[in-house]
């Protein structure tokens, strides 16, 4: 499924991606930004917010590894596990409600898998508010995760 809020968002396309032979592998996440302090995992629109938050945090000396899941079923948990082993911290970001969300699934798989032993702090989830989506723009902006919310969550995970 695609997020209609991305329709008006411009972004760069590589020459390779514009080729007719280019195929995005199903079930393979993409590391959008390398980092060493914390792993940010997202899909769809929140990936852009994670990249913005990573840029803000970089100015403060915190290097975030940003993972774009690209697909959630199948989910490339191996890429997330490898990143968590490297950074020792996990923050998931999604626009949906917290209950039954993708972030809950990623957190559960990390907690139940081999990467759990590498975590230095509990995983932190950044999600949409658990309310019906409002129509007013200002309320909508307060219901879905923003860059400031991701920055706050990373600082919470790192205890800074």
Could you tell me the mean pLDDT of each successive run of 10 residues in the chain, 160 residues long?
A: 79 88 93 98 96 98 97 96 98 95 97 97 97 92 95 97
pLDDT value of position 129: 95
Chain centroid to Cα 108, Å, comes to 15
Percent above pLDDT 90 for the chain: 84
Identify the architecture of domain 28-158 in CATH: 3-Layer(aba) Sandwich (3.40)
pLDDT value of position 144: 94
Exposure string for 35-60, b = 16+ CB within 10 A, e = fewer: bebbbbbbbbbbbbbbbbbbeebeee
pLDDT value of position 1: 62
User: Residues 31, 76: contact at Cβ < 8 Å?
Assistant: no
The pTM of this model reads 0.93
Please give the angle made by the CA atoms of 95, 100 and 106, to the nearest 5 degrees. Answer: 75
Closest residue by Cα to residue 126 from 148, 158, 159: 148
pLDDT value of position 6: 82
- Give the 3-state secondary structure of residue 12: coil
């Amino acid at each position: 499924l695609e997020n209609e809020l991305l329709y008006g968002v411009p972004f760069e396309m590589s020459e390779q991606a514009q080729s007719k032979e280019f195929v995005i592998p199903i079930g393979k996440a993409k590391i959008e930004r390398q980092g060493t302090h914390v792993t940010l995992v997202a899909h769809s629109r929140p990936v852009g917010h994670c990249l913005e938050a990573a840029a803000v945090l970089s100015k403060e000396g915190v290097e975030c590894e940003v993972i774009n899941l690209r697909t959630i079923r199948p989910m490339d948990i191996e890429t997330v596990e490898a990143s968590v082993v490297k950074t020792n911290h996990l923050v998931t970001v999604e626009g949906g409600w917290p209950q039954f969300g993708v972030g809950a699934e990623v957190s559960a798989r990390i907690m139940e898998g081999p990467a759990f032993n590498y975590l230095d702090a509990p995983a932190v989830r950044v999600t949409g508010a658990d309310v019906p989506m409002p129509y007013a723009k200002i309320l909508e902006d307060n219901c879905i995760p923003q860059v400031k919310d991701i920055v706050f969550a990373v600082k919470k995970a790192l205890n800074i």
